[in-house]
Amino acid sequence: MSLSNLRAIAAIYKFELHRFRRTLLTGLLVPVITTTLYFVVFGGAIGSRMTEVDGIPYAAFIVPGLIMMAMFTESIFNASFGIYMPKFTGTIYELLSAPVSATETIIAYVGAAATKSLIIGTIIFLTAHLFVDVPVAHPLAMVGFMILIAVSFCLFGFILGIWAQSFEQLQVIPMLLIMPMTFLGGAFYSVQMLAEPWRTITLFNPIVYLISGFRWTFFGKGDVGIEFSLIFVAGMLTICLGIIGWMFRTGYRLKK
Amino acid sequence: MASIIEIEGLTKSYASGFKALNGVDLTIEEGEIFALLGPNGAGKTTMISIICGIARASSGSVKVAGHDIVRDYRGARAAIGLVPQELSTDQFERVIDTVTFSRGLFGKPRNPAHVEKILRDLSLWDKRNAKILELSGGMKRRVMIAKALSHEPRVLFLDEPTAGVDVELRRDMWKLIGQLRETGVTIILTTHYIEEAEEMADRVGVINRGELMLVEDKTALMKKLGKKTLTVVLAERLDAVPAELAEWQVTLKGDGQEIEYIFDTQAERTGVSSLLRRLGDLGIGYKDLNTAQSSLEDIFVALVHREKAA
């Protein structure tokens, strides 16, 4: 690990956050409006017929899932866009020709994308409080879990941004893979509510473990044990770091 | 002069088998302006891309300011400023922000006075708060130069610096490059405009099909390979070249009003005085004489064609 150009990390980090500030209004309004709509549809319409899940009011039950869903999407989008845009506009030449290591590049881009994602996660958390009383059983664990999820999915997004060679490719994995997996990963229901064999099949979806772990930090219980959730997050972090390390070592889709 | 760039056996091959560079050896001296000439696809940009870290070499080694570009990439890259051929900018950023960003990216502490000086030198100070997308193509090119200079590099690569800019801006750019040289910055430029190399370069390298065909001092090169053309404006029109002038292989131009004689400036006898004497002997009067040196462009074309023929 080589970290001698801290000024480069600061420069990229500030540049990326500046890009976020330019689109601040839409960047913040969209998740707030989306969360509100989910509360109206799921919390209001469906929640009135399904009062409790595992002893938790339904409107409160969906809050961790909503936060996770937004954070998955935002993390992937921000990180992939952050590295894809310089490739698309050609300004990547400056990054590649600068005295910046792969570690510094990842810290800067992923750090900035994770910051944005955490801001949005926090806003959704606060917005949810306008609609429902949400207890947090393990506040420190909740913050830690949010950070881990933001970093893991930003790393995943970063990989996507390097891999993608068109805007369509940039969209295809979040839309066709992550979004359905999130909906089917227990964001709006408990896996325990499913009948067999769907319950067992669902357990092959890694998103289940992430949402369950985050829900545990709120209510002290989840669909699977917290230790399994942590193993999945650690696994995702390791795999993503391994892939990114390989991409920088070989110059995959970065260098000619 | 000490060398600032040392290239040894540089090769770049692609999976298709295409060799963009084939064993290039080159040393650039500190403080000089070196022009790299070559037709499209000759390997100019590939060579610059490898030195700057944008592309990987297949084999060979490159040192910049004594730092190996792979083992000690930080030292090498810190010494380099690059202005690529394409106008690649962050369109929504302000001029001053993007230049400040570049300085930080290269690990230099903030220095608003230095950034101001660069922007003033490049006539960008008045546009410092403008978004890049609001600027003309020429101004964008200046922004890219400002970014490349923001971290005070010792070597500046200019890949086709005046491609697509108007004549006035090109002249400004030449002036700027001259000023940069005075500050001790080594400049390596690739260009299609031979007059650019002729105007500014100390040394010229000609690359074709991935091979460096020659590296020469510009003046020496023009002397060595340069031909001169003597044009004799006749007092009276001729219908054909008299047989007595066959020895000089002159041609009739200007509707029979001019005789053109091409001679080698390096030859022991140029044949100019004997030709004029013979014209006098034949009673062919002339009212004007002028000579023209062949340009670097002529030399370049001749070299490339010679290689193609071989």
Of A22, A89, A94, the CB nearest to B105: A94
- Bond from prior residue into A139 cis (ω within 30 degrees of 0): no
Max intra-chain CA distance, chain A: 60
Residue A47 has pLDDT above 70, yes or no: no
Scan for tokens 């059983």, then name that residue.
A137
Which pLDDT belongs to residue B307?
A: 63
pLDDT-above-70 percentage for chain B: 95
Q: What is the mean pLDDT of residues B229-250?
A: 91
Q: How many CB pairs under 8 A join A and B?
A: 77
- Look up residue B92 and give its DSSP letter: T
Which pLDDT belongs to residue B40?
A: 83
Query: Residue B162: pLDDT band by 50, 70, 90 thresholds?
Result: confident
Chain A neighbors of B77, CB-CB under 8 A: 97-99
3-state percent breakdown (helix, strand, coil) of chain B, nearest 5: 40, 30, 30
Of A10, A91, A98, the CB nearest to B88: A91
Pick the CATH number of B227-293 from 3.30.70, 2.170.220, 3.10.170, 2.60.40: 3.30.70
Q: Where are the domains of chain B?
A: 3-220, 227-293
Instruction: Name the domain count of chain A.
Output: 1
What kind of fold does domain B3-220 have according to CATH? Rossmann fold (3.40.50)
Contact (Cβ atoms closer than 8 angstroms) between residue B140 and residue B132 = yes
More confident residue, A4 or A1: A4
Q: What is the mean pLDDT of residues B101-109?
A: 97
Which pLDDT belongs to residue B308?
A: 62
Which pLDDT belongs to residue B294?
A: 67
> Are the Cβ atoms of A96 and B53 closer than 8 angstroms?
yes
Amino acid sitting at position A35: T
> Are the Cβ atoms of A100 and B104 closer than 8 angstroms?
no
**A38 domain residue, yes or no:** yes
Angle at B48 between CA B44 and CA B52, to 5 degrees: 170
Residue B305 has pLDDT above 80, yes or no: no
**A197 domain residue, yes or no:** yes
Q: How far is CA B228 from CA B255, B258, B265, in A?
A: 21, 16, 6
> Are the Cβ atoms of B89 and A11 closer than 8 angstroms?
no
**A1 domain residue, yes or no:** no
Q: What is the mean pLDDT of residues A70-84?
A: 94
Residue A42 has pLDDT above 90, yes or no: no
**A256 domain residue, yes or no:** no
Best B18, B54, B71, B141 residue to mutate vs chain A (most A CBs within 10 Å): B54
Which pLDDT belongs to residue A14?
A: 96
Domain hosting residue A144, numbered range = 6-250
Phi, psi of B206 (to 5 degrees): -115, 125
Instruction: Answer whether B53 touches A (CB < 8 Å).
Output: yes
| B288 bridge partner residues | B233
Which pLDDT belongs to residue B295?
A: 67
pLDDT in tens, B2-57: 899 999 999 999 988 899 999 999 999 999 999 998 888 889 999 999 999 999 99
Query: Residue A85: pLDDT band by 50, 70, 90 thresholds?
Result: very high
Q: How far is CA A32 from CA A8, A128, A171, A202, in A?
A: 33, 9, 22, 29
Chain B neighbors of A5, CB-CB under 8 A: 74, 107
Beta strands in chain B (DSSP E): 3-13, 19-29, 33-37, 59-64, 67-68, 80-83, 155-159, 186-191, 203-208, 211-217, 227-234, 251-253, 258-264, 286-293
Query: Residue A95: pLDDT band by 50, 70, 90 thresholds?
Result: very high
Residue B298 has pLDDT above 80, yes or no: no
> Are the Cβ atoms of B104 and A251 closer than 8 angstroms?
no
Query: Residue B40 half-sphere exposure, CB side, CA atoms within 13 Å?
Result: 0
ipTM confidence score? 0.89
Contact (Cβ atoms closer than 8 angstroms) between residue A190 and residue A203 = no
Of A239, A68, A218, A211, the C-alpha closest to A203 is: A211
Residue B226 has pLDDT above 70, yes or no: no
Q: What is the mean pLDDT of chain A?
A: 91
Chain B neighbors of A4, CB-CB under 8 A: 74, 107
Chain A nearest CA to B109, separation (Å):
7
Angle at B125 between CA B119 and CA B131, to 5 degrees: 100
Chain B nearest CA to A10, separation (Å):
8
| B7 bridge partner residues | B26, B62
Phi, psi of A13 (to 5 degrees): -60, -45
Chain B neighbors of A94, CB-CB under 8 A: 82, 102, 105, 147
> Are the Cβ atoms of A11 and B105 closer than 8 angstroms?
yes
Chain B neighbors of A108, CB-CB under 8 A: none
